Amino acid sequence: MRSRGLTHAAPPANCTLSRTRNPSSQRPRPKPILYARGTSVCASTPLRSSAPPSMRTSTTATTILIRQSARLLQSSRSPVLLPRTPFRSYSKIGTDATVVDTLVGAVGNTPLIRLNRVSQETGCDIYGKAEWMNPGGSVKDRAALYVVRNAEELGLLKPGGTVVEGTAGNTGIGLAHICRSLGYNLVIYMPNTQSQEKIDLLRMLGADVRPVPAVPFTDPSNYNHQARDYAESVSNAVWTNQFDNIANRQAHIETTGPEIWRQTNGGQLDGFTCSTGTGGTLAGITRFLKEKSNGRIKCFIADPPGSVLYAYKKQGELVRTGESSITEGIGQGRLTDNLAPDWDLLDDALHIPDSQTIAMVYRLLDEEGIFVGASSALNVVAAVEMAKKMGPGKKIATVICDGAYRYQSRLFSKSWLEGKKLFHHIPERLQKYVLLA
C-alpha cells in the first residue's frame, strides 16, 4: 500500500483557540478524526497526550476550525486531520526536578533569556528564546516531534516505519534525533550543495542521506519532490512535508507560544519578531500571542536578503529584496501553508541585511556569551529594530533558533568573511574571535 504525504488544511484567520481544564480526566484517548475533502468542520474533543503523565498539561481540549482551501481541494492526495499532537506541561521554573520519558520528553520548555546589552541600548527589555537548548540543538525539534506524532495519529506511520523529508538543515537533524528515539527509519533528501559536516552528522544519527542535484522547486527533480515520490513508493513510509504540514505550526501554538506567554508573566509583552523558513514558528507563535492578548501584542516578520516576504508585507508583491543571504533555513519565495493563515495577523516587516546580522553574531558572543548562528543573530537584530520602532520601555521577544557550532567553519573564517565582503562589518574590537583562516 502506498504511503501518503501529509498535507493539511490550515485554520482561517478567524480561528479561535478554546481551552478547557480537566487535569484528572481518565477518558479513553479519542481516535484521530479524518476529514473528507470539501468540508468545513468545527470539532471539540479531549486530546490525550502520548507523553508520560508527569509531562502532560492540564489542558485537555482544543477547538480548532479546519476549512479546506480551494487549492488543497485540487491538489491534496491525503486526508486532512485535526492535529492530535502530544501536550506537555510547562512550569515557571523549568524542568530541573523532572524526569522525562525518552528524549522526546525533553523537547521544548526552553528558557527566555534577557539580552542585557541590547536591552540597555534600546531602553527596552529584549528577550531571546533559547531554542538551542532543545535536545537536537534547534527550534526545529518541536516541529520534528509534531509531524512524526501527527503521522502516528493518522495511522500513516506504524512501528518500524520510515519517515522521509526533504531538508538541508535543522529539521533533518531534529527528525534524526526523534526517529532514533522512537525507533523509526529516516530518509533525508537534500541538495548536493550542503556541507559534508551536515551530511556526516545526519548519517551518524542514523539517517539515510541522499544528496541530489540542486534544482529549482519547479523542477520535478527538486529534492522535496524526490522525498515525496520516494515515500509514496515504500510501504509504511510517510513524507512529513515540513513546509506545508500544519502540524509544524501547531507545535508552536501549543508549546512555544504558551511558554513565551508564561515566561513573560502572563503576556507582559509588547512585541514579538522572528524570521521564517517553513513559517511554522512565526505563524504559530503569532497566532497564540494575538489570540491571548486580543491583538495587543505586535508581531513583525524579519526577512533576510533574497526573500520575498518583506516586499509582500510592505507592497503586496512577491518580489525579492536584495540578493542571497549568508543565513540558512530562512527566507522564502512563497507563502507556505503554515504561514498563509496567519499572514494578516503580522503587523509589519523588517528587512535585515547580512552586514547587521554578522555583527550581531559577534556581539552576542562577546557581550552575552551566547554562540549563535546567523539566523538567530538576524532575529536579535530584528528585535532591536522593533524596539526602536516601538520606543523605550517595551518588552520584545524573539527566537534564538540554534547555536553557531554547525556554521563556525564559515562564520568564524576570515577568508570566508572576506569573500562575502563582511569582515569589515565586524567591529574591530570583536575581530579577535575570527580564529579560522
Instruction: Note the pLDDT of residue 77.
Output: 42
Residue type, 205: L
Residues with active-site annotation: 140, 375
User: Is residue 47 pLDDT above 60, yes or no?
Assistant: no
Encode 135-161: b = buried (16+ Cβ within 10 Å), e = exposed: bbbbbbbbbbbbbbbbbbbbebbeeeb
State the pLDDT confidence band at 9, using cuts at 50, 70 and 90: very low
pTM: 0.80
126, β-bridge pairs: 396
**Each residue of 379-420: pLDDT tens digit?**
999 999 999 999 999 999 999 999 998 899 999 999 999 999
301 vs 84, residue with greater confidence: 301
45, β-bridge pairs: 62
The DSSP result for 356-423, as a single string, is: HHHHHHHHIIIII---B-HHHHHHHHHHHHHHHHH-TT-EEEEEE-BBSTTTHHHHTBHHHHHHTT-G
**Each residue of 21-38: pLDDT tens digit?**
343 333 333 333 332 222
User: Is residue 313 pLDDT above 70, yes or no?
Assistant: yes
User: Is residue 280 pLDDT above 80, yes or no?
Assistant: yes
Arithmetic mean of pLDDT, 224-250: 96
Arithmetic mean of pLDDT, 91-115: 79
Q: Which of 196, 71, 205, 43 is nearest to 137 (CA)?
A: 205
Residue 214 makes CB contacts below 8 A (sequence gap 6+) with 191, 192, 193, 223
- What does the alpha-carbon distance between residue 86 and residue 27 come to, in Å, rounded to a whole number? 16
Instruction: Note the pLDDT of residue 55.
Output: 33
User: Is residue 288 pLDDT above 50, yes or no?
Assistant: yes
Instruction: Note the pLDDT of residue 96.
Output: 53
Q: Which of 150, 211, 149, 204 is nearest to 177 (CA)?
A: 204
User: Is residue 89 pLDDT above 50, yes or no?
Assistant: no
User: Is residue 180 pLDDT above 50, yes or no?
Assistant: yes
Which of 26-40, 66-80, 90-104 reaches the highest mean pLDDT? 90-104
Instruction: Note the pLDDT of residue 198.
Output: 80
Instruction: Note the pLDDT of residue 197.
Output: 78
